[in-house]
Chains A and B, each alone.
Chain A
Amino acid sequence: MASHRKGALRPSTGDRIFDICNVLFMLFLVTITLYPMLNQLALSLNDANDSIRGGIHLWPREFTWNNYAYVFDQATIYHATLISILRTVIGTCLTVFCSAMVAYTISKPEFVLRKFVTLAFVLTLYFNGGLIPTFLLIRDLNLLNSFWVYIVPGLIGVFNLIVIRSFIQGLPDGILESAKIDGAGEFTTFIRIVLPLTVPALATISLFAAVYQWNSWFDVFLFNSSSVDLSTLQYELVKILQNSNSASSGKSAADAFANSDSSNFVSPIAVRATMTIVASLPIMMVYPFLQKYFVKGMTVGGVKG
């Protein structure tokens, strides 16, 4: 875009030095961004006993899948992974569908409650009840220790509404009108016409909703920490971290978790690295392909929000 071309002028020495420094800086940035992740990946694929010797950087020294086998052998972690997947899928679908529906209604100028609904949502940007009142509300609604506490309280975000609504308003008028002429009702129009046409906006929302669901741990801790059945992958990792954090150094701990039943010993370092990779891999594999969408979504949200 920013095509400040040099024309016939040859780049000066200063320019060339600037470019070289700039590229070097970017390489430095890429290194410190990627190194910690790749280091964990290497540790998770390296023999657990060998890792204790240290010196693993970017490449496993004694390659093995054992750490992954061990981690998924643990009933709690296996179950937690299922819950994580379940909340991500259900939460994302419901959030996208409901947000799109509300966004559609407030995108229609003739809707009599348009201002009321919009204002009700936008006002919530400026206050919130806070931790304790929310906790007590969830308790009073009997949502403690239930799966739905992951889905219902965060169902619709104002940011989602703004992104989808601006997108719908940007659609050519004729498309929605022609659906009406065919005698389609509002709900049919929404399902058959609006949803397919807003796919780019919905992709943005899906990504954010899925990332939110997959990464959440605080709601597990706050609302469901007493029911092991509802624990998620992220929360299991939190427990491992808390174990190692309460010990004096970062390394020596988490033994409570990595039980050393001699035959199948897996060191805490390896377990932690493996969990870290499992907890982040799904998102790492998806986000680069949605880059176009979230960059656009951020720009819309940033300008209008």
Chain B
Amino acid sequence: MQHSANAAPAVAPQKSPKASSGTKHFLKMLMKQRTLVLMSVPFVIWLFIFRYLPVWGWTLAFQDYRPGRSFSEQEWVGFKHFAFLFQDDAFYRVMRNTFAMSFINLILGFVLAITLAVLLNELKNIVFKRVVQTISYMPYFLSWVVAASIIMVALSPEEGIVNQVLVGLGIIDKPILWLGEASYFWGIFAASETWKNLGWNTIVYLAAITMIDPAQYEAADIDGANRLQKIWHITLPGMKPVIIVLLILNIGQVLETGFEAQYLLKNPANMDFAETLELFVLRWGINFGNYSFATAAGIFKTVISFSLLFAANSLAKRMGQERLF
């Protein structure tokens, strides 16, 4: 490999791209840069196999897929599976759960992370601030398995610290079986997400705050502004561009909230509020082996994600933000 590289002094090209005839020139360049080609093209092939090829699998949704048959032998059924999907009550429940948890996640993620970033920025003792930051990043690095284990212990009726504290404070009379009551699930999910990701989400906002010109704060001091006024009139407006960009990016990703927390914390008792679209796909596809129906549900999710992405993008344009794609 190194030999071929020696033969290719990659500094030379660029000179006259237009002069030689297109394809010939291109092939010549390709030969010259063959080391670079060897360093990247195998990975494009890898990318094609593992990222692009699965999209071909969407055809499953329009067939009655039977394993063991070749593609041409599969029976085509048009939109049958989609029709089934829309008649299934479970599907609507799952969609409700997916949207509800995604939006709770989105809103809480923003509001709390911005608040925490602002408060961290107001800390005067730098060492204390560092320590708080480092600790707040910790749960992000834990796996959802570990987090779920911790959450289940914290919520357990006998041992759980949550019940102990709430009973101790007299807020509830007797311990609650938190994970056994379906209607609590969204709240538990939101709290878990917050516990795990809040600190991590502040990183970008803290970076945005450091970009604010300190002269603004000095001017405000001279005008006799207090802390809250400075936060409201300087810090928050200064973070606005970053907030908008992230909000738009996240709207497009809103259904990609993951499913690990739901998968690990769900049980037969809270299933009605815990099951998301991803888990629905998993249940029908992997557990019941109905690949076609499960793929149809998966495609539906992609379609919604895409519409949200385009909506977010046009919103971005209207608000004068450039470039998402």
A residues near B (Cβ < 8 Å) are 1-7, 9, 12, 14-15, 18-19, 22-23, 25-26, 29-30, 32-37, 39-40, 54, 98, 101-102, 104-106, 108, 110-113, 116-117, 120-121, 124, 126-137, 141, 152-153, 155-156, 177, 180, 183-188, 190, 211, 214-218, 222, 234, 237-238, 240-241, 244-246, 248-251, 269, 272-273, 275-276, 279-280, 283-284, 287-288, 291, 295, 298-299, 302
A67 to B150, CA, bound (A): 18
Query: Is B299 part of the contact surface with A, judged by Cβ < 8 Å?
Result: yes
B29 at the interface (CB under 8 A from A): yes
Q: Which of A29, A133, A152, A211 contacts B60 (CB 8 A)?
A: A133
Do the beta carbons of B39 and A18 come within 8 Å of each other? no
Cα distance, A185 to B228, chains bound together (Å): 59
User: Smallest Cβ distance from A104 to chain B, in angstroms?
Assistant: 7
Given A33-B135, A153-B50: A211 and B40 interface contact (C-beta under 8 Å): no
* B50 lies within 8 A of A272 (CB): no
Interface of A is mostly: helix
B132 touches A130 (CB 8 A): no
Quick one: which of A4, A29, A130 contacts B302, CB cutoff 8 A? A130
Contact partners of B218 in chain A: CB under 8 A: 4-5, 7
Shortest beta-carbon distance from B5 to chain A in Å: 2
Q: Which of B82-90, B99-107, B119-127, B166-174 contacts A (4 or more CB under 8 A)?
A: B119-127
Interface flags for B17-59 (1: CB within 8 Å of A; 0: not) read: 0000000001001100101110111011011111111111110
B147 to chain A, nearest CB (A): 9
Residues A217 and B143 in contact, CB atoms below 8 Å apart: yes
**8 Å CB contacts to A: which residues of B164-184?**
177, 179-180
Q: Which residues of B contact A (CB under 8 A)?
A: 1-6, 8-11, 13-14, 26, 29-30, 33, 35-37, 39-41, 43-44, 46-58, 60, 116, 119-124, 128, 131-139, 141-146, 148-161, 177, 179-180, 195, 199, 203-204, 207, 209-210, 212, 214, 217-218, 220-221, 226-228, 230, 246, 260, 263-268, 278, 281-282, 285-286, 291, 294-295, 298-299, 301-302, 306, 309, 325
Docked Cα-Cα span, A23 to B129, in Å, equals 9
Q: Among the interface residues A3, A128, A152, A155, which one has the most CB atoms of the partner chain B within 10 A?
A: A128
Q: Is B149 in contact with A276, judged by CB distance below 8 angstroms?
A: yes
Known contacts A14-B227, A244-B152; A187/B39 CB under 8 A: yes
B145 touches A237 (CB 8 A): yes
A36, B60: Cβ atoms closer than 8 Å? no
For A248, the chain B residues whose CB sits under 8 A away are 180
Whether the pair B122, A18 counts as a contact (CB closer than 8 A) is yes
Some 14 contacts from A to B, beta carbons below 8 A apart, are A26-B120, A32-B195, A34-B135, A120-B48, A127-B306, A130-B302, A131-B285, A133-B58, A152-B50, A187-B1, A188-B5, A215-B143, A273-B153, A295-B207
Nearest CB in chain B: distance from A32 CB, A: 7
- Rounded to whole angstroms, the CA-CA distance of A37 and B154 in the bound complex is 10
Q: A2 is contacted by which of B47, B212, B302, B309 (Cβ under 8 Å)?
A: B212
Q: Which residue of B lies closest to A215 (CB)?
A: B143
